[in-house]
Chains A and B, each alone.
Chain A
Amino acid sequence: DAKTTQPTSMDCAEGRAANLPCNHSTISGNEYVYWYRQIHSQGPQYIIHGLKNNETNEMASLIITEDRKSSTLILPHATLRDTAVYYCIAAGNQFYFGTGTSLTVIP
C-alpha cells in the first residue's frame, strides 16, 4: 500500500472549516484514498473515501488532485467534538495506518 504523509498537528477555530492535507505520491491506480479519525481510546471511525473524483457526505468532503498524488479532507464547520487524530490511508485490500494529523479544535 502507498505511504502517506500528513502534518503532525493542526489547530482550527470552532465553526471554521478544517482542511487536512495528505500526500500519497506513490498511490497506484487501484488504490482508494480513505480517511478515518480516532478519538482517544476508541476504534477509528470511517469518514469518507474516494478513488479520483471529489466526494462529499454528511461528515466531510474529500478533494483529490487530478494526478491523485494528494488529497484534502474538509470538515466544513469544525466543532469541539471533531478534535481527534485523522488518518489518511491509500489502500487496496489492506489498511496500513501512518502517523496521522492530530487536529485540535479551539473554542
Chain B
Amino acid sequence: GAVVSQHPSWVICKSGTSVKIECRSLDFQATTMFWYRQFPKQSLMLMATSNEGSKATYEQGVEKDKFLINHASLTLSTLTVTSAHPEDSSFYICSASRQGREAFFGQGTRLTVV
C-alpha cells in the first residue's frame, strides 16, 4: 500500500505553546487529507477534511481556530494545535487519499501537554 508519513511520532509540550504535526504522502499525490484524534480505548474521531489548496472542513465541535490545518501541496498537510492544554493530549492521526480511492494512514503522533 501507499506510504503516509507523520512527524513527529511523539511530542511533549508545555501548556500554552503551539505544536505542529506534519503529514506527508510519500509515493502518491493526495487530493484529500484527513485528521483524526483518538483518546485511550476509543475509536478514531474525524476532526477535519482538507483538500489541496482549499480551506479545511471541520467536523462539528472541533474548533478551527485551535486546530489549524494547512494543505498547501498534494503531498503535505499540517495540523497545528494552538495554545495547547492538557486536555488536548491525545493520539493524532492523519490519512491521505486520492480522489475516490482508499485512504492510507500515518503512524500517528502522541501529543502530551504538560
CB of B77 closer than 8 Å to a CB of A: no
Find the A residue at minimum CB distance from B34.
A95
Tell me whether A94 and B34 are in contact (CB under 8 A).
Answer: yes
Find the A residue at minimum CB distance from B31.
A93
Q: Is the interface of B mostly helix, strand, loop or mixed?
A: strand
Tell me whether B91 and A93 are in contact (CB under 8 A).
Answer: no
CB of B25 closer than 8 Å to a CB of A: no
Task: Report the separation of the CA atoms of residues A96 and B36 in the bound assembly, to the nearest whole angstrom.
Answer: 10
Known: A36-B105, A46-B1, A96-B46. A41 touches B32 (CB 8 A): no
Q: Is the interface of A mostly helix, strand, loop or mixed?
A: loop
User: Measured between C-beta atoms, what is the minimum distance from A49 to chain B in Å?
Assistant: 5
Task: Report the separation of the CA atoms of residues A42 and B110 in the bound assembly, to the nearest whole angstrom.
Answer: 10
Tell me whether A46 and B108 are in contact (CB under 8 A).
Answer: no
Task: Report the separation of the CA atoms of residues A98 and B36 in the bound assembly, to the nearest whole angstrom.
Answer: 13
CB of B78 closer than 8 Å to a CB of A: no
Tell me whether B43 and A46 are in contact (CB under 8 A).
Answer: no
Task: Report the separation of the CA atoms of residues A70 and B18 in the bound assembly, to the nearest whole angstrom.
Answer: 43
Known: A94-B34, A95-B34. A42 touches B107 (CB 8 A): yes
Tell me whether A43 and B6 are in contact (CB under 8 A).
Answer: yes
Choice from B6, B34, B100, B103 contacting A46 with Cβ under 8 Å: B103
Known: A43-B6, A49-B102. A98 touches B107 (CB 8 A): no
Q: Which of B16-64 contact A (CB under 8 A)?
A: 32, 34, 36, 43-46, 49
Write out, one digit per residue, whether chain B residues 78-114 have a CB within 8 A of any chain A CB (1) or not (0).
0000000000000101010000101111111010000
Chain B residues with CB under 8 Å of A94's CB are: 34, 46, 49
Tell me whether A97 and B108 are in contact (CB under 8 A).
Answer: no
Task: Report the separation of the CA atoms of residues A105 and B100 in the bound assembly, to the nearest whole angstrom.
Answer: 33
CB of A21 closer than 8 Å to a CB of B: no
CB of A9 closer than 8 Å to a CB of B: no
Seed contacts A42-B108, A99-B43; 7 additional CB < 8 Å A-B pairs: A36-B105, A43-B95, A45-B1, A95-B95, A95-B103, A97-B36, A98-B43
